[in-house]
Amino acid sequence: MLWPAARSGLAGSAAGPLSSDEKLAFATLATTVQFGKNAIIYRDSERAEFLYLLLEGAAKSFTTLPDGSNRGVTFHFPGDLFGWPEDNRYAGAAQALKSATALKIPLEALEARLRSDPGLALVLVRKLRYHVVQQYRQLVLLGRNDAIGRVATFIALLERREQEEKGIRPLRLHLPMSRSDIADCVGLSLEAVSRAFTALEGRGVLSFRSKRHFRVADRAAFQALVGHIPATVKPKRAVKEEVQA
Amino acid sequence: MLWPAARSGLAGSAAGPLSSDEKLAFATLATTVQFGKNAIIYRDSERAEFLYLLLEGAAKSFTTLPDGSNRGVTFHFPGDLFGWPEDNRYAGAAQALKSATALKIPLEALEARLRSDPGLALVLVRKLRYHVVQQYRQLVLLGRNDAIGRVATFIALLERREQEEKGIRPLRLHLPMSRSDIADCVGLSLEAVSRAFTALEGRGVLSFRSKRHFRVADRAAFQALVGHIPATVKPKRAVKEEVQA
DNA sequence: CGTATACTTGATCAATGTCAACAAGGGTGG
DNA sequence: CCACCCTTGTTGACATTGATCAAGTATACG
């Protein structure tokens, strides 16, 4: 076990396969379910009765606007807990990207158990905290307004996720989602995403083995793009900061 | 008490002033701190030792990129719990928008207490879940690519937040943050935000009493903008959906 | 009252959305 | 095993939007 210390507290990573205490916590509560590729896990605004903890595969959450476009796409990987309700209804829909298995956790039973099992509480809080930080990273990503920077940062987040899960930085990355899904996630058109990938390969930053298989070929250039290092440096004034009252 | 039922479970709103059980949960753990306008609450990547639960005022979280621009801005209002760490360090900085008071909760003590106090766990999970949904809404907002729609949606979220807190939809809204802060939050330049406000007033959607004080004058038009109802309807194909394996 | 900050407005231009056509790839059934 | 088709991805041309630079106005604060 590589992570016993990191996973015990409130902080630390909550990515990757379930630890033994997590398995224990959900064992008698949840049932395992299988989803085929593109299967809908739950629908937007549907009455929320279960949380889902992904065990294998990949899934996405999204909100479909009246005009038919998908927004707020986020991706879920093994270890992710998703399907949190607002006013007892799901905020967004969820769909499997490929064949996937998940733990289906009844909210009511979870809540009841929570009142008597502090270990479960700690697991939940850790998962939620991890989710919050993940989403925050996506918010930062979406604040950028250059297509290449967004796509590069998206890849950096995927890579980081793999690294947290496996313990080492993966040599190659695989994209379980389509260009269109990526576009909805990073707030670009799918054409812009495609062009960004092409540009990244053209510059020698990424090297593609197939459409969804690649590796980071030029680490320095990649980090520069992710870190948003501008070619022409233009310093701005520091944040105004006053004394603590 | 208006919300006893809504606030007891895992779902339901976690916005607004603290309920009695929340006060109890943190009473012996936390200390109250005051922040002056623009005071830094914590810095990016600083070692995280406390969570903050805002009692009064308003604050923002943000990440400053190497080029000096702020990204991933989110706003905090009374009842919000923020300052969640990743690997024991804050992901982003936090700053008071105006004079504010907050509960400063030591993470270590919180974790220790969590192991024995299921009531506290429920409060924490509810706050975190609320935060996750709030962030998700911002992700959806940032997916849009029309400036007016983004600003309108931003206002809708503020309004919704007030409504959850007070129980009724507020007649007038007050913006505790600058145009520049809004710009960083919705991913636009501050000029674009300014123009969007001007356009919204020009179309009679909003009516300004002062720069930061306004009301929604044309509810229908406002909802149309928020709902992203396009002038020319262009239906797209439905999501492919396969059977649950 | 004066100065710094916040906000507005205008002009220009690069970047991305959109529309359109085409290429590639994967799966299915003959 | 091959041919076909449907989905996914790429590339090009063009129009539009918002970023940027710049100037000016309003507001708040000392």
Domain residue ranges of chain B, discontinuous segments joined by +: 4-135, 145-226
- Residue B3: what pLDDT? 44
Residue A36 CA to D1 C1' — how many Å? 28
Helix (H) / strand (E) element for B203: namely none
Residue A147 CA to D11 C1' — how many Å? 17
**A33 touches B: beta carbon within 8 Å:** yes
Give the position of tokens 């270590």.
B108
Q: Is A38 left (phi over 0), alpha (psi -120 to 50) or beta?
A: left
CB–CB contact B99 A245 (8 Å): yes
Which one of B71, B92, B125 has the shortest CB-CB distance to A144?
Answer: B71
Q: Which of B136, B138, B153, B190 would best serve as a mutation to test chain A binding (most A beta carbons within 10 A)? A: B136
- Residue A14: what pLDDT? 81
Structure tokens at B53: 């639960």
Q: Is A221 left (phi over 0), alpha (psi -120 to 50) or beta?
A: alpha
Q: Which of B67, B95, B101 would best serve as a mutation to test chain A binding (most A beta carbons within 10 A)? A: B67
Higher pLDDT, B167 or A27: B167
Fold of B145-226: Arc Repressor Mutant, subunit A (1.10.10)
A232 touches strand C (CB under 7 A): no
Binned at pLDDT 50, 70 and 90, residue B5 comes out as very low
**B105 touches A: beta carbon within 8 Å:** no
Positions in chain C where some atom is under 7 Å from a protein CB: 5-11, 15-20, 25-26
A244 touches strand C (CB under 7 A): no
Residue B187 CA to D29 C1' — how many Å? 30
Using the CA of A195, which nucleotide's C1' is the nearest one?
D10
CATH architecture of the domain with range A4-135:
Sandwich (2.60)
Alpha-carbon distance of B17 to B78, in angstroms, equals 6
Alpha-carbon distance of B182 to B153, in angstroms, equals 12
**B117 touches A: beta carbon within 8 Å:** yes
**A224 touches B: beta carbon within 8 Å:** no
Residue of chain A nearest B115, judged by CA positions: A118
CA distances in angstroms from A232 to A60, A169, A228, B67, B149, listed in the order given? 37, 31, 11, 10, 32
- Residue A118: what pLDDT? 82
Is B2's pLDDT higher than 50?
no
Average pLDDT of the segment spanning B112-121: 87
- The answer to whether the beta carbons of residues A88 and B7 sit under 8 Å apart is no
- Residue B129: what pLDDT? 94
Structure tokens at A62: 């999204």
Is B84's pLDDT higher than 70?
yes
Q: How many C-beta neighbours within 10 Å does residue B37 have? A: 14
Residue of chain B nearest A146, judged by CA positions: B187
- The answer to whether the beta carbons of residues B130 and B161 sit under 8 Å apart is no
Q: How many C-beta neighbours within 10 Å does residue A132 have? A: 20
Helix (H) / strand (E) element for A164: namely helix A147-166
**For residue B39, which of B86, B115, B99 has the smallest C-alpha distance?**
B99
Long-range contacts of B227-233 (CB under 8 A, 24+ apart): B227/A65, B227/A66, B228/A65, B228/A66, B228/A67, B228/A69, B228/B144, B228/B149, B229/A66, B229/A67, B230/A67, B233/A67
Among B residues 192-211, those touching chain A with beta carbons less than 8 Å apart:
none
Output the CA angle A102-A106-A107, nearest 5 degrees: 120
Q: What are phi and psi of A15, to 5 degrees?
A: -90, 165
- Residue A234: what pLDDT? 44
- List of residues 6+ apart from A110 with CB closer than 8 A: A29, A51, A120, A124, B10
- What is the residue-level pLDDT of chain A in tens, covering all 245 positions? 444 444 567 777 787 777 777 777 788 899 999 999 999 999 999 999 999 999 999 999 999 988 889 999 999 999 999 999 988 999 999 999 999 999 999 999 999 998 888 888 888 999 999 999 999 999 999 999 999 999 999 999 999 999 988 899 999 999 999 999 999 999 999 999 999 999 999 999 999 999 999 999 999 999 999 987 654 444 445 556 666 55
| Cα B198 → chain centroid | 24
**B86 touches A: beta carbon within 8 Å:** yes
Structure tokens at B34: 């005051």
Alpha-carbon distance of B230 to B245, in angstroms, equals 36
- Residue A128: what pLDDT? 93
Q: Exposure pattern of B183-204 as b/e (b: 16+ CB <10 Å)?
A: bbbbbbeeebbbbbbeebeeee
Name the β-bridge partners of A62. A93
Helix (H, G, I), strand (E, B) or coil at A95: strand
- Residue B245: what pLDDT? 57
Structure tokens at B235: 């239906």
CA atoms lying within 13 Å on the CB side of residue A229: 7
Residue of chain A nearest B185, judged by CA positions: A143
Higher pLDDT, A186 or B116: A186
Q: What are phi and psi of B194, to 5 degrees?
A: -60, -45
**B154 touches A: beta carbon within 8 Å:** no
Residue of chain B nearest A125, judged by CA positions: B125
Same fold, B4-135 and B145-226: no
Q: What is the DSSP letter of B47?
A: B
Q: What is the separation, in whole angstroms, between the first and last Cα of chain A?
A: 47
CB–CB contact A87 B130 (8 Å): no
